[in-house]
Structure 1
Amino acid sequence: MNTYKIIFAIFISTLFIISCSKRDERNYSNAEDYCLNIKANIDSVIHERDTLQDSLLLEIVKKCGNSPKFVELRLSILSKLNRYNEGLEYIKSLDDSNFLNPYDSLVYSVSFQQKLIQDEFAKLDLTQKVVHEMENHLAEFPLDTLALANYCQFSLEYKSKDEVLDKIDSMARNNNFDRTYDFVVWLYFPDKQKLFHQRKLDWENQKSI
């Protein structure tokens, strides 16, 4: 990144922070739109995603309030910067209304904690906690793609591919093999797509009898 881009980014960031610090003088939606516009301008100037840019964006996002879209962005930047303790403290200051999904807080919290602790049994306990939460959520919302993705990602940390795929297969059968499950299998089990497709065909043939 050249010097001009760095100076320009800092200049834009400073103007942004000053403006957002006065956001109580404008309605929230306008302040939020303004934050998004500034972020877009910075992204268009600095194409290289490096630590400096992420640090600048973090300071910007901190001034944007705690709407779900900015909470997610802030946590993703903290994760990239390996600032896990700061991320955990930030999560503690929020409530469910600050997240897009009811399980997001747990997923982010566990993801950060896993980076900080060394005890493998403690990590496993955290992982299983997320898996159980996803199972409970999917029992009510079986086509939630993100929940399915979280279920697969965390389950595969301590279960075999076949075991997790069997669970996905079971859920798919209970929901008429909705295409959502095809996507999840493609994402997490690319080498099992043919097997899953054959199971789907067998299920359809059996159903038509």
Structure 2
Amino acid sequence: MMALRLAGTMPAATPSTLPSEAFYRAGVPKGTITDYVWDQSKVFPGTWRQYWVYVPAQYDPDREAAVMVFQDGARFMDPKGHFRVPAVFDNLIHQGEMPVTIAIFINPGNKGMPAPKQRRFNNRSFEYDTPDDAYVRFLMEEILPEISKRYRLTKDPGMRAICGNSSGGICAFTAAWERPDAFRKVVSHIGSFVNIRGG
């Protein structure tokens, strides 16, 4: 079972409000984070997005790694933000409290090039709030196969998780609802179920 202790959403991300796992510790090996751009989508044609892949120091290319996908990816990997997932994963993997897990942080799509450091993306609601299988097909047919060219990702749905906040939370729920054969673990932080398109 994948154990997770992600720092939650708080009014302010300060040392007194975040769990100890959210901070880098001496002697704990750090994973690597590589950034990519995806502008080849057939599921969401005409969109451009950044995504990042976190690979823990313990990753062994001869063994499959667990997978966790994060919507609004930049927010979840921000080292000064509320979640600080890379630090949390470094600590929990090092302690043996979770399996070796590759994290995929995906920003929403934008039609046209977004402004630098823009946090609003014009295709976000369409991708996240629509109750259909489009987003999970985007993951399964485009993003995961692309990352699998570089890393060995598990195909075991029990070792795959998907996470999001607000509309990203309902997106995570919908992905697992549509494809339980692909994702069996969901973290929905204040999922915006009332934002569902047509709901």
State the TM-score, normalizing by the size of structure 2. 0.27
Q: Which has the higher helix share?
A: 1
Structure with max Cα Rg: 1
Q: TM-score with structure 1 length normalisation? A: 0.26
Q: Flag the structure with higher strand content.
A: 2
| Higher relative contact order structure (alpha carbons within 8 Å, sequence separation ≥ 6) | 2
